[in-house]
Amino acid sequence: MGFRPVTEVTFDKRMTVDEIVGQLKDGMTIGIGGWGPRRKPMALVRAILRSSLKDLTIVAYGGADVGMLCAAGKVKKLIFGFVSLDAIPLEPYFRKARESGQLPDILELDEGMLQWGLKAAAMQLPFLPTRVGLGTDIATYGNFETVKSPYADGEVLLAMPALKLDAALIHVHRVDHRGNVQALGPDTYYDEWFAKAAAKTYVSAEEVVERMDLSYPDDAKANVFERCFVTGVVEIPQGAHPTSLPPSYGWDMGHFKAYAASAAEEGGWDKYMAEVIGPDEAHYLAAVGGAEKVAQLPLPIF
């Protein structure tokens, strides 16, 4: 009696940008990884800007991703820890949306509360207890509940509800066709928890390789979350621009300043959308000076 040969089962998760955006729907809750002007999946955000998607709930430690989606009228509700470009403290189009009343439905959180909400969703819990937020206006006006410890201490804690995501968008340095990621640099922010809190996670990367274990085995520690949490991957070099991607390239502060100035101009967003973002990433990259210029952007020093 012979044995049936065992063949390796492969799960090829490579997709196009259009296929990823095609899986997103109006009204979804979408988490965006990265941190302010750092390692944002901006190419995927730009693809959403070019689409007909609307009425989105966005969850983020926000930067230009949030500001642009607000300017384009894509956001129905915003859940955020901050929305900043660092050197430009308040993201200009986010500020404009807030001040004009365009964002009546918001949930402003302490940074730790947002993290705790993602962790609760990742663990499939309804909430997680925390001291973060207690005694603040965030707790008062956010209509949060408290829970009492069932143990002898009897401590009263804030019950941070789970922030369940329909989809998460993340940008990394490398990914393979199975969904193994490598996010280099000194800080991976909370991308792990965005990925684990989401029903589906889509990852853009500077480079897609066939097998990470063969291509870059020495960087295995940069695999910040398991491939089982990844739904689709796409290669988009310079896909974080104008945000930074340490150690590959820094943020484009010159671009951010011009972008911020456009928020003060009549019709500034429509002009930025047409002239800079344009119909596709090839147009965008040409408009910002090309791949070589982006690759040479210096890393910010703190």
Indicate whether 134 and 279 sit together in one domain. Answer: no
Q: What is the 3-state secondary structure (H, E, C) of 255-269?
A: HHHHHHHHCCCCCHH
CA 70 remoteness from chain centre: 15
pLDDT digits over 26-57, tens only? Answer: 999 999 999 999 999 999 999 999 999 999 99
Alpha carbon distance 196, 227 (integer Å): 10
For position 17, what pLDDT does the model report? 98
Residue 28, number of CB atoms within 10 A of its CB: 17
Give the H or E element holding residue 283. helix 281-287
Burial (0-12, 13-18, 19+ Cβ within 10 Å), 215: middle
Residue 250, number of CB atoms within 10 A of its CB: 20
Indicate whether 155 and 95 sit together in one domain. Answer: no
Residue 11 within any structural domain of the chain? no
Residue 237 within any structural domain of the chain? yes
Residue 173 within any structural domain of the chain? yes
Domain count, the chain: 2
pLDDT tens digits in sequence order for the chain, 302 residues long: 444 454 444 589 999 999 999 999 999 999 999 999 999 999 999 999 999 999 999 999 999 999 999 999 999 999 999 999 999 999 999 999 999 999 989 999 999 999 999 999 999 999 999 999 999 999 888 889 999 999 999 999 999 999 999 999 999 999 999 999 999 999 999 999 999 999 999 999 999 999 988 889 999 999 999 999 999 999 999 999 999 999 999 999 999 999 999 999 999 999 999 999 999 999 999 999 999 999 999 998 87
Indicate whether 138 and 249 sit together in one domain. Answer: no
Residue 88, number of CB atoms within 10 A of its CB: 19
Indicate whether 96 and 196 sit together in one domain. Answer: yes
Alpha carbon distance 84, 93 (integer Å): 10
Residue 88, SS3?
Answer: coil
The answer to whether 15 and 176 have CB atoms below 8 angstroms apart is: no
Indicate whether 151 and 194 sit together in one domain. Answer: no
Indicate whether 52 and 105 sit together in one domain. Answer: yes
Q: What is the 3-state secondary structure (H, E, C) of 122-172?
A: HCCCCEEEECCCCCCHHHHHCCCEEEECCCCCCCEEEEEECCCEEEEEEEE
Indicate whether 193 and 104 sit together in one domain. Answer: yes
For position 10, what pLDDT does the model report? 54
Alpha carbon distance 43, 243 (integer Å): 11
Domain that holds residue 145: 126-161
For position 1, what pLDDT does the model report? 44
- What CATH number is attached to the domain comprising 55? 3.40.1080.10
